[in-house]
Amino acid sequence: MPLHTLDHANIRTTNLAAMIAFYEDVMNMVNGPRADFDFPGAWMYLGENAVVHLVGVDGNPQTDGDLALEHAAFRATDLKAFIATLKAHAVDYFLGFPPGVPIVQVNIHDPDGNHLHVDFHIDELETAGLSR
């Protein structure tokens, strides 16, 4: 199961408009297509890759006990081998299927409890013997 790239960072914010403007104006990213989630947000792109996912939240993630940086994500291939590795190391996981995006997310937590997900193309689901 080779990891290919760090896919994106997911950041929770109460200042969605200001964050979008910052990533556009300061970081030279483009606010582009996003999965059809039922919560506010934006995906900020560098070229063809959405490298920062912004999520609009109420309250202050820094003081409400939530993390502002909610997770990191990787892209990979060979879902079947990755699932076998997780099972061999007794790592719990759950699958996610973002609406309107052809990927399956394998959600895990590292030993410190940090949320990670590893994204595979949805076409690998059947080969791995998994289903929605």
| pLDDT one-digit tens code per residue, 61-73 | 655 566 667 788 8
Q: Tell me the torsion sign for CA atoms 32, 105, 6, 109.
A: positive
33 vs 60, higher pLDDT: 33
Question: Tell me, what CATH number does 63's domain have?
Answer: 3.10.180.10
H-only helix segments in the chain: 16-25, 79-88, 124-127
Structural domains of the chain, count: 1
Mean pLDDT of the 96-119 span: 88
In a domain, 61, yes or no: yes
Is 80 exceeded by the pLDDT of residue 21? yes
Residue 5 pLDDT grade (very low, low, confident, very high; cuts 50, 70, 90): confident
Residue 62: count of CB within 10 angstroms of its CB: 11
Question: 0.85 exceeded by the pTM?
Answer: no
Domain span at 74: 3-127
Structure confidence at residue 62 (pLDDT): 59
Mean pLDDT of the 85-114 span: 89
Structure confidence at residue 6 (pLDDT): 82
Structure confidence at residue 121 (pLDDT): 96
Mean pLDDT of the 29-55 span: 94
In a domain, 36, yes or no: yes
What long-range pairs does 2-6 form, CB within 8 A, spacing at least 24?
2/76, 2/77, 2/78, 3/74, 3/75, 3/76, 3/118, 4/74, 4/75, 4/76, 4/77, 5/49, 5/74, 5/75, 6/72, 6/73, 6/74
In a domain, 22, yes or no: yes
SS3 at position 127: helix
In a domain, 132, yes or no: no
Structure confidence at residue 29 (pLDDT): 85
